[in-house]
Amino acid sequence: MSERRASISRKTNETSISVSVNLDGTGTSKISTGIGFFDHMLEQLSRHSLIDMEIDCKGDLHIDDHHSVEDTGIAIGQAISKALGDRRGITRYASLDLAMDETMTKAAVDLSGRPFLVWNVTFTTPKIGTFDTELVREFFQALSQNAGITLHVLNHYGANSHHIAETCFKAVARVLRTATEIDPRQAGRVPSTKGTLV
């Protein structure tokens, strides 16, 4: 099996981003976006998906965090899609309920090549420290659109906004881990009766 790695560089007037991923990694990461809480969440995404990630983002943080968060999601999504290639042999589907203290969140994914996000998550506060909680959705919207994945995220319940955000990232990480894994019973086939996912 060929290595499932990819790198993306993306530069706009608002951000300059480089991302490298290895789908068959061990969850090691080197992440710098200039946004402490976001770095922490991306570390969770890498660690629990077992996707190695190197992410460097320099953005217009003097304005706000929005462009950096969204553009990082775009670049990670593009890198994952590139690393998946024609998606031959992958498990494709995964779904998981993930608990953290008082919070439980479900994530379900289909690596279908068709981008779609269903987001049913309500935060109890508008900010986590200085980080706008609405940016969590913006990140996953950008990720799903550019990775070509159908992603559903549902927060069942929770009181602490940090825990709600963290369960979203960890649950998505876990379903990505499962869905991107090679299924030995697929014998290298594309997991679709159409014969293609892209």
Nearest residue to 3 via CA among 182, 179, 158: 182
Crossing angle of helices 134-147 and 161-180, in 10° steps, is: 10
The pLDDT value given to residue 1: 55
Mean pLDDT of the chain: 94
How many residues are present in the chain? 198
The pLDDT value given to residue 14: 94
Indicate the pLDDT class of residue 62, thresholds 50, 70 and 90.
Answer: very high
The pLDDT value given to residue 196: 66
The CA distance from 97 to 110, in Å, is 16
Summarised one tens digit per residue, pLDDT across range 73-83 is: 999 999 999 99
- The burial class, CB within 10 Å (0-12 / 13-18 / 19+), for 81 is buried
* pLDDT of 195 over the 80 cut: no
Summarised one tens digit per residue, pLDDT across range 86-100 is: 998 999 999 999 999
Rounded to the nearest 5 degrees, what angle is found at the Cα of 138, between the Cα atoms of 132 and 139?
100
* pLDDT of 66 over the 70 cut: yes
As a whole-number percent, the residues of the chain with pLDDT over 70 amount to: 95
Largest CA distance in the chain: 51
As a whole-number percent, the residues of the chain with pLDDT over 90 amount to: 89
Which stretches of 23-92 are assigned E, i.e. beta strand?
A: 29-32, 52-59
| pTM of the complete model | 0.95
* pLDDT of 198 over the 70 cut: no
